[in-house]
């Protein structure tokens, strides 16, 4: 699959993979901040952003798409940064194709199964009466009835686009809903390990990576290091962008 991406800067390639319901656009300010030193590729994963839709939405499929992007761009090895769903995709890619990954940065996700999440969000997004919408403000007011966190609703509504008089979702809700169990889970990687430099970045106010996850992480990534960023939740890069950029830059330059 030919993924959509935005490219900034020049230098060693850094591929950035967003989380569920996200897109490369969410990472634009981070990408521009790092573009003075690196070639930054902000990727829209399948069924998200401006990339094509496909009924298969699994980690092996997404990792395969990123591999194809590397091949198309003539990139032999790259630094890979992945957040949440993009972090699991990045881990799978590094474990299955370690020779293509220089350094790995995983943002606020662990290689484990999580309790079912996002099912309600998909239900609420589906219930939004697109045919009645006059503006994005209408959509915001509607979704705030179910999800009172305005920042999260605004993030989700970045997937709502207008085509002429009609509104539509850029994210493939059918494919995501069909594979939600697999997205919450961790795919089978056998005995694979990634021996390269690896950094796990967690938000202090997030519970996605716990200290009890460290042994499991080190099983797959023996050289894993851990950084906790204060005053940050699951969207670490959005909550503390300057600290996040400094952390990434320091690790990649070591």
The DSSP secondary structure of 109-148, one letter per residue, reads --SS-----SHHHHHHHHHS-GGG-SSHHHHHHHHHTT--
Number of residues written out for the chain: 254
Strand 166-169 to strand 160-163: parallel, antiparallel, or no bridges (unpaired)? antiparallel
Active-site entry in 84, 179, 237, 239: 84
234 is catalytic: yes
84 is catalytic: yes
- What percent of the chain is helix, strand and coil (3-state, nearest 5)? 45, 20, 40
Provide the 3-class DSSP secondary structure of residue 55. coil
Beta strands in the chain (DSSP E): 5-8, 13-17, 39-43, 78-83, 101-107, 160-163, 166-169, 198-203, 224-229
CB 180 within 8 Å of CB 118:
yes
**Phi/psi at 188 (5° precision):** -70, 120
237 is catalytic: no
Q: Cα Rg for the chain, rounded, in angstroms?
A: 18
**Phi/psi at 135 (5° precision):** -155, 170
Active-site entry in 25, 56, 138, 174: 174
Active-site entry in 57, 79, 83, 234: 234
Q: Which residues are catalytic?
A: 84, 174, 234
């Amino acid at each position: 699959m030919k993924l959509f991406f935005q490219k900034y800067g020049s230098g060693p390639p850094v591929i950035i993979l967003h989380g569920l319901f996200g897109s490369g656009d969410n990472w634009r300010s981070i990408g521009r901040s790092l573009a003075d030193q690196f070639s930054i590729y902000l990727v829209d994963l399948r069924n998200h952003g401006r990339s094509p839709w496909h009924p298969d939405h699994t980690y092996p499929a997404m990792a395969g798409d990123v591999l194809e992007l590397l091949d198309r761009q003539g990139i032999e090895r790259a630094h890979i940064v992945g957040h949440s769903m993009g972090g699991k995709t990045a881990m799978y890619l590094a474990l299955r194709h370690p020779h293509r990954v220089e350094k790995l940065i995983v943002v606020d996700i662990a290689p484990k199964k999580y309790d079912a999440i996002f099912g309600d969000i998909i239900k609420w997004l589906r219930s939004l009466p697109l045919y009645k919408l006059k503006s994005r403000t209408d959509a915001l007011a509607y979704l705030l009835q179910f999800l009172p966190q305005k920042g999260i609703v605004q993030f989700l509504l970045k997937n709502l686009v207008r085509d002429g008089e009609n509104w539509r979702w850029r994210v493939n809700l059918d494919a995501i809903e069909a594979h939600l169990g697999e997205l919450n889970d961790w795919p089978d990687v056998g005995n694979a390990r990634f021996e390269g430099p690896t950094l796990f970045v967690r938000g202090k106010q997030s519970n996605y990576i716990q200290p009890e996850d460290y042994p499991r992480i080190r099983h797959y990534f023996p050289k894993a290091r851990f950084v906790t960023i204060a005053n940050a939740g699951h969207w670490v890069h959005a909550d503390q962008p300057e600290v996040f950029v400094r952390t990434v830059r320091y690790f990649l330059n070591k």
